[in-house]
Amino acid sequence: MASSAPGPVQKSEEEWRAVLSPEQRAGSGEYNKFSEEGIYTCAGCNTPLYKSTTKFNSGCGWPAFFEGLPGAIKRTPDPDGRRVEITCAACGGHLGHVFKGEGFGTPTDERHCVNSVSLKFTPANSDAPQ
């Protein structure tokens, strides 16, 4: 399985708008209560980001994962230092934020709070490469 695209994905603003939709409210996302086995990819460039085995129910209203695939997620502290933004390492698309030390009992003690609109899902039993 590839951990990231071969290089930065370049698209015009118009091309990005064609593949990405507006943000949604908590609890309304397609993958919030979704639990199939497979791979979550970036909605913008299709780079694999998360295995379904790292997804957990945090009750936050957005899909939550305890770790991304190696090299797939870029972390950038918000200017105020209160949160850490996570983006796709291949295309820079906003995914959400990562929080540490909340006590969920995950192997990494992290919660990647990800907006469903930033993800696509490929089922484990599909013919698509994983």
The catalytic residue positions are 113
Q: What is the 3-state secondary structure (H, E, C) of the chain?
A: CCCCCCCCCCCCHHHHHHHCCCCCCCCCCCCCCCCCCEEEEECCCCCEEEEHHHEECCCCCCCEECCCCCCCEEEEECCCCCCEEEEECCCCCEEEEEEECCCCCCCCCEEEEECHHHEEEEECCCCCCC
